[in-house]
Each structure stands twice: as C-alpha cells, then as structure tokens.
Amino acid sequence: MRKYDDGNFATDDVEEWLSELEGTKNVSVLEDACSRVMSERGHTGPSVYSIGIAAAEVVAALRGRPAKEVPREVRAFVKRVSTPPSPDLLALALAAITRIKAKAESQELWDEGTICAAWHQTVADVETRLK
C-alpha cells in the first residue's frame, strides 16, 4: 500500500528507490530520476514525481544543504560521493522540482488531503536548498 505523508522520503516508491543509492558511487541515479520527471508527457503516476523530489533532496544534500532528517541511505550516499553536484545536475534537479510543482498528479493528491500545506512547504524547502 502506498503511503502519503508530508516528508519527501515517505512513500513506498521512494523507500524502494533509496535502495538504488546503496553501493552507488556516482550521481547517475539522481540524473535518471530527475530526467524521468522532465521526460514525462501526459498522465503519469505520482511515483515518478515522488522519486524526483527525493532525488532533488539528495542533490541538495550533496550541496551541503540537506533536509533536517534524511534516511541513512542518503547520508551514506553523500559520504561515498563526497563531491558537490555539478551545475548541470543542480539545474536538472531545480527543473524537475519546477515541473513537479506545476504538473504533478501527486500534488493533486496532496491538495485533496489535510496536509496540503505541509506538502507545498516541503517541496518549497528543497527548492530553496537547491538554489
């Protein structure tokens, strides 16, 4: 069952995606996740967008601006990679967040719930930490 919460790592899809970070020593998994957001056309499920937000969170953490709480997989990944994100990766992560804010079905799901403001706050927070 899919979980919806106000944290950017709190869905089942993201928890599964985090396993891709384990053992990875480059940012291609982040580039892939953000690129999927940008390449989606028409209707898409919320998992692409949830994973895109999580990837943007990891980019922000690589930039030295992590969320207050991040999963151990993210902390370990940042330690392994230990270099700041390239300007291209930062731009891709910001573009993905912009697209998610504008078009995400997941946002519509949040808007239907009582935690709408919290979702918007967490997405705005990662966007700020990417800039």
| pLDDT tens, residue by residue, 2-57 | 344 447 888 889 999 999 999 898 999 999 999 999 998 766 667 898 999 999 99
Burial class (CB in 10 A: 0-12, 13-18, 19+), 129: middle
pLDDT averaged over the chain? 85
| 90 membership: H or E segment, kind and range | helix 87-103
d(CA 85, CA 16): 23
| pLDDT tens, residue by residue, 53-93 | 999 999 999 999 999 989 999 999 999 999 999 999 999 99
d(CA 13, CA 3): 9
**Torsion 104-114-71-84 (CA) sign:** positive
Give me 39's structure tokens: 């390449």
